[in-house]
Amino acid sequence: MGFKKCFFLFLFFLLVGLASPSPFYIKNDVLEARVQTGRALLQQQGNCPVDFEKENYTIVTSQCKGPHYNETICCNAFKQLACNHMDELNDVQNGCATIMFNYINLYGKYPPGLFANMCKEDKKGLNCDNIIPPEGNKPEEQKSHSAKGSKSSVVLMLIASILIILFNI
């Protein structure tokens, strides 16, 4: 009977650890400047599943303006755009990051490496949990990865509770 209790305690703490919300990040590697020179079909690079040509870059270009770029405003605007595609951008094999930065530079005429040099939050990368929504947008309209994390946390905690009740630990 002692082994059974130890096993379910281990399982419980494993599920609790998995259920705790972890922040979502855009890796720092993604922020490195990958500016292409010359004429190239931007959407033809790699096998990126996102059509960045049709993305709304005014999120960034309307807020992040030079010649004196405000770090807080520019990084938050960049995160509003990039965090919607966090998983695709973190996959360095598909070329999505290169394509997105080429379009950002095409529409915003930003200096190379602007976002890579300014937007440093953590050794893991940019935290997509703390995006400040632009004025005029309601928070419930914003796409949020943290909502996914909180739903999975509730489900895992529910499973752990059921296991405890079923096996009388």
134 in any annotated domain: no
- Considering only CA atoms, which of 37, 57, 50, 46 is closest in space to residue 104? 57
Residue 49 falls within a domain, yes or no? yes
Cβ partners under 8 Å of residue 28, min gap 6: 120, 123, 124, 125, 126
Residue 23 binned pLDDT confidence (cut-offs 50, 70, 90): low
Work out the average pLDDT over 38-53: 67
More confident residue, 116 or 162: 116
Residue 57 has pLDDT above 50, yes or no: yes
Mean pLDDT of the 121-149 span: 63
Q: Where are the beta strands (DSSP E) in 42-166?
A: 125-127
Residues 37 and 101 in one domain: yes
**Can you tell me whether residue 22 is helix, strand or coil?**
coil
Question: Based on the domain organization, do 80 and 118 belong to the same domain?
Answer: yes
Residue 48 lies in a domain: yes
Residues 97 and 14 in one domain: no
* Residue 59, C-beta contacts closer than 8 angstroms, at least 6 positions apart: 77, 80, 81, 134
pLDDT per residue over 60-106, tens digit each? 999 999 889 999 999 999 999 999 898 888 887 888 888 888 899 89
The confidence score (pLDDT) of residue 152 equals 61
Same domain, 52 and 101: yes
The backbone region for 154, taken as left when phi is positive above 0, alpha when psi lies in -120 to 50, beta otherwise, is alpha
Q: Whole-model pTM?
A: 0.58
- Judging by beta carbons within 10 Å of its beta carbon (0-12, 13-18, 19+), is residue 37 exposed, middle or buried? exposed
Give the pLDDT band (50/70/90) at residue 154.
low
Those residues with Cβ within 8 angstroms of residue 23's Cβ, 6 or more apart along the chain or in another chain? 124, 127, 128, 129
- Cβ-count burial 43-80 (b if 16+ within 10 Å, e if not): bebeebebebeebebebbbebbeeeebeeeebbbbbbb
For residues 88 and 82, is the Cβ–Cβ distance under 8 A? no
**Residue 37 in domain:** yes
Residue identified by tokens 């990040």 is 25
In a domain, 133, yes or no: no
Average pLDDT, the chain: 74
Same domain membership, residue 163 and residue 89: no
Q: Which amino acid is at 154?
A: V
Domain presence at residue 140: no
Judged against a pLDDT cut of 60, whether residue 2 lies above it is answered with yes
Average pLDDT over residues 22-41: 53
Domain count, the chain: 2
pLDDT of 167 over the 90 cut: no
Q: 118 and 103, same structural domain? A: yes
Residues 29 and 112 in one domain: yes
Overall average pLDDT of the 108-114 stretch = 89
